[in-house]
Amino acid sequence: MNTHTGHTNAIRASRVIGTDVFSTSGQKIGVIEDVMLEKSANGIMFAVIGFGGFLGIGEKYHAVPWSVLDYEKSRAGYVVPFTEEQLKAAPAHSINELTGDDGQAARDASYEYYKVAPYWY
């Protein structure tokens, strides 16, 4: 099925991982490091966005609800409706913490912080 812009709704995870993420002001704020899937519900829990650090040292990982990422072809990246300051203040996790408790703690904290309606209700 195609979207209103002619793109399909399907995208390979390998095409998403490594894509730049921008704030609404156009500032690059990070990169999609991974996509967390919820196996039992067949859905996307959140995108894992990494920013800060150098060569992976000191980098923070943020769970961002998938529904807020908007791909902009002109930037060849995703735009989130948040400022860099909002993202820096967001709950940060290690990669292992993102999957602890089946990812639910990171998911819940993310949806609450960004005030996004939960998809699992």
Report whether pLDDT(32) > 90: yes
User: Is residue 69 a contact partner of residue 47, using CB atoms and an 8 Å limit?
Assistant: yes
pLDDT reported for residue 7: 52
More confident residue, 76 or 84: 76
Rounded to an integer, the average pLDDT of 55-63 is 72
Report whether pLDDT(21) > 50: yes
Handedness of CA 113, 114, 115, 117 (dihedral sign): negative
Q: Please report, for the chain, the start and end positions of each structural domain, with discontinuous segments joined by +.
A: 13-114
Rounded to an integer, the average pLDDT of 72-76 is 92
Give me the architecture of the 13-114 domain, per CATH: Roll (2.30)
